[in-house]
Amino acid sequence: MALLEEFEKQGNYLFRYRGILPLIILMAGLGAYIQTELNSTGFQDPVLKEIFRFFCLFVCFIGFGIRVYTVGHTPKNTSGRNTESQLADELNTTGIYSIVRHPLYLGNFFMWLGVALLTENVWFTGLFVFLYWVYYERIMFAEEQFLRKKFGTIYLDWAKATPAFIVSFKNWTPPKMSFSWKKVLKKEKNGFLAIFLVFFLFQCTRNIINDINIISPNWLFYATIVSGVSYVILKIIKNATNLLDEEDR
């Protein structure tokens, strides 16, 4: 099999199972964090440790913000969470798609980079960046093959002017669709909850290692509760009503 077909085949396979990657990162990250805590190679000053944790959370929210902006401006059946096969009723070329071809994967990168940094392990963080690049390079290749076959020269002209992963603002074009908070609340509630759950899991792990009460009622504890309650409420609204539904969104 030629490399072109092999890369596309690998990318489609990884696309279907891309939801597994966060779990692998989380388990490996927890292992690295445990080693950091046991060997006392991370931040020892409690104040610096807390400042660094806020920095990691900020990095995560950069990624989440990219995802929110992207999803909020896209039409139905584009930029989705489907895993069975590639899906695109139309080609997004305006808004954030005018400055980068894969904004959702860029957002995912920053969200998980924040988690990788949280381990306070330079080697793990470097390994994460490398593996993320290798993993998503195949997925992006497969997606672009799908779009090239479906949209032809329209896609090729856009891809020629728009970088794949490194943002360039020189061709910025305002989004053609207005921002939809309803779509964001419907589609991105998982990511918001996941951020706080992961940080809370790291905190509980640290508390166990240092023989501290496993659940400390601090700001992170309450933020996790709020995000969890918000998720449940939005899930109920989505499944029981049409309040979050919008035509063509």
pLDDT tens-digit map of 124-139: 999 999 999 988 888 8
Neighbours of 46 (CB within 10 A): 8
pTM for this entry: 0.91
The angle at the Cα of 12, spanning 11 to 14, to the nearest 5 degrees, equals: 65
What is the distance between the alpha carbons of residues 123 and 39, in angstroms, rounded to a whole number? Answer: 15
Closest residue by Cα to residue 73 from 181, 154, 185, 191:
181
pLDDT: is 91 or 51 the higher one? Answer: 51
Reported confidence tier of residue 77, pLDDT bands at 50, 70, 90: low
Q: Which residues of 183-197 are buried (b: 16+ CB within 10 A; e: fewer)?
A: bbbbbbbebbbbbbe
Closest residue by Cα to residue 112 from 15, 223, 199, 225:
199
pLDDT: is 10 or 27 the higher one? Answer: 27
Kindly list the domain boundaries of the chain, sorted by start residue: 3-182
Reported confidence tier of residue 246, pLDDT bands at 50, 70, 90: confident
Q: What is the pLDDT of residue 51?
A: 95
Return the percentage of the chain with pLDDT > 70, whole number. 93
Q: Could you give phi then psi for residue 52, rounded to 5 degrees?
A: -65, -35
Residues contacting 146, CB < 8 A, separation 6+: 86, 88
Fold of the 3-182 domain: Four Helix Bundle (Hemerythrin (Met), subunit A) (1.20.120)
